[in-house]
Structure 1
Amino acid sequence: MTELYGAIEAGGTKFAVAVGYKNGEILKRGTIKTTTPEDTMAQVFDFFDQYQDDIISFGIGSFGPIGVNEKLENYGYITDTPKVAWQNYNFIGDMKVHYDVPMLWTTDVNVAAYGEHILGAGQNFDNVFYTTIGTGVGSGVITRGEVYNGRAHPETGHLMMRRHPEDNFEGTCPFHKDCLEGLACGPAIEARWGEKAYDLNENHKAWEFEAYYLAQAALDFTLTFSPDIMIFGGGVSKQEHLMDMIRDEFAKMMNGYITLPDLKDYIVPVSLGDDAGIIGSLLLAEKVAR
């Protein structure tokens, strides 16, 4: 028997699935469109059934909100998601019907944070704060090498923001309008400016607004969690010029209040790219199998 780990990065648009070995080494991977639990999970099971006799554990990171507190009844469920078909879906319960092995269950941003902590930009740091800016905004927190959860998982995308003085955009969040996600996610950029983020040139006013909001978020995260490093991932963060703009705004906002490392070493882009989540899922499967 070859011992394999199973990994699922369950995104709102697509699922990434993989089996692999220790240290995040991928043997086989696949992509499945996120439609309904019945359709998507049937394909997930088809993928892993090929390796059923060899898989000894799973690491699963899911879009949310999800239940992460094992003391609560909603543990293992996708809960009040805007994706109606997935509301109150018992993800772990369904997985356990098919595979009787240990499973680590957390958010999709937490698995990416863990991947960066072990093999990416967060190596050699005990406390890592990872934020993704894409269709939505979410954060994963690693504290003393462990994934952080409380009663629920952090929902940093819905922190309220102080507006940029020139920004009159209402915000796209249906719950809060001008929270971080409502002002800074990919759809917010497109709704405000009429173009997708990747079509905007680096001198566009959009990036001034984006840097302002992400620097403000970084300030809040720094003062709340005091991490060793702040990592940004997701589609918007792939704009290379944006990182220096965030650092500059952050320095202005912090105004010397606390001492930090050189900001080029403190506020950094993701280093594992789009593989951070699936690699992190494999690493967490390895961790829970011990």
Structure 2
Amino acid sequence: MRIGGVEAGGTKFVLGVADLDGQILSRTQLPTTMPEATLALSREWLTDQAGPTGLAAIGIGTFGPADINPASSTYGDITTTPKPGWQGAHVRAAFLDLAPVVTFDTDVAMAGLGEAQSGAGRDVDSLIYATIGTGIGAAFVKNGVPQSGYTHAEMGHFPVAQDKAADPYTGYCPYHGNCLEGLAAGPSIIDRWGVPLSELPEDHPGHQIIADYIAQFCRTVMLGFAPERIVLGGGVMKTPGLIERVVETTERHIAGYAVPPGASWREYIVTPQCGDDAGLVGALAHARGQLPR
């Protein structure tokens, strides 16, 4: 039998099928359009790739906010997303007839699980994984399990201190304006400077402005969760030199307090090792973990 994985992102769906050992046998991606069309195409591809014995389980990681509480009547649905057409979309329900086990969590939780099991967190028991791209999301993974409370965390909406003289931008977030996502996500960068961070001149002050916001996030999760590693992914983090700026600025913000033991700062705050496959790898691992032993 095989297992299926779905990384349901706001711009694209990444789909994969793996054997029971987690080896990916096939993968594809589809543009995220409207729910009915996108989910139908995803179902069709998974059905075609399932093989003669079908799928034993499917793991789904979705953009959010989403209902990840199995006891809830809307478990598996997207909730208050600003993405047009997707509020209330029944994502998990669309796959229930394709496998006896269908697991569900956020895309960032699945990516964190992927890094914990197969990437930058293989040698530690706990990590914070954050994606900094079109939006900003983060998850805390401990002992191979994404952690949550009444719902998943929304760390991208942490407040951050803003130097209005250096950065007078009012923020891109439709809910909170100048929260972390409103100031450091990709659209906010383009909105105020006209190009992605990677295309700004090397001496542009925007590089340090964005690094400082991300470093404030790192400080907050260090003090709030005490993870053994912080993994920063997403398109913005691919900007040359950004990870080094973030590490240096975080160290300055921490000011010698709650310093991580046994590792250099550059070993503590890192970029992903699974690359763009972290979410898919995690979704497959999440599904595989729910199979009978």
> What does 1:130-279 align with in structure 2 at a 5 Å threshold?
130-164=129-163, 166-260=166-260, 261-279=263-281
Pairwise CA distance, 1:240: 3.3
C-alpha distance in 1, partners of 2:166/2:291? 52
C-alpha distance in 2, partners of 1:233/1:29? 21
> What does 1:11-30 align with in structure 2 at a 5 Å threshold?
11-30=9-28
C-alpha distance in 2, partners of 1:285/1:147? 13
Pairwise CA distance, 1:35: 1.0
State TM-score, norm by structure 1. Answer: 0.95
Paired residue for 1:62? 62
**Gaps spanning 5+ residues in structure 1: where?**
none
Provide Cα deviations, 1:190-217, integer angstroms capped at 9, x if missing partner. 1121212231233321110011000000
> Percent identity among equivalent residues?
36
Residues 23 and 171 of structure 1, relative CA distance in 2, 3 Å threshold:
farther
Pairwise CA distance, 1:23: 4.5
Aligned partner of 2:193: which letter? W
Contact 1:76 1:90 in 2 (8 A): yes
Pairwise CA distance, 1:244: 1.3
RMSD between aligned alpha carbons?
1.3
Paired residue for 2:29? 31
Of 70-79 and 261-270, the range deviating more from structure 2: 70-79
C-alpha distance in 2, partners of 1:22/1:116? 19
Contact 1:22 1:283 in 2 (8 A): no
C-alpha distance in 1, partners of 2:286/2:273? 18
C-alpha distance in 2, partners of 1:32/1:237? 23
Provide Cα deviations, 1:121-154, integer angstroms capped at 9, x if missing partner. 0102111100000000000220122111111101
Aligned partner of 1:275: which letter? D
Aligned partner of 2:183: which letter? L
Hey, which bits of structure 1, 4+ residues long, moved more than 4 A?
A: none
Pairwise CA distance, 1:168: 0.8
Whichever structure has more helix as a proportion of its residues is: 1
C-alpha distance in 2, partners of 1:33/1:259? 42
Contact 2:197 2:207 in 1 (8 A): no
**Gaps spanning 5+ residues in structure 2: where?**
none
C-alpha distance in 2, partners of 1:102/1:212? 42
C-alpha distance in 2, partners of 1:43/1:6? 14
> What does 1:36-115 align with in structure 2 at a 5 Å threshold?
36-50=34-48, 51=50, 53-96=53-96, 98-115=97-114
Q: What secondary structure, in the 3-state scheme, does the structure 2 residue paired with 1:60 have?
A: strand
Pairwise CA distance, 1:83: 1.9
Residues 23 and 109 of structure 1, relative CA distance in 2, 3 Å threshold:
farther
Pairwise CA distance, 1:22: 3.8
Provide Cα deviations, 1:237-260, integer angstroms capped at 9, x if missing partner. 112311111111111111111131
Paired residue for 2:283? 281
Contact 1:139 1:155 in 2 (8 A): yes
Paired residue for 2:115? 116
C-alpha distance in 1, partners of 2:99/2:189? 44
- Count of matched residue positions in the alignment of Structure 1 and Structure 2: 287
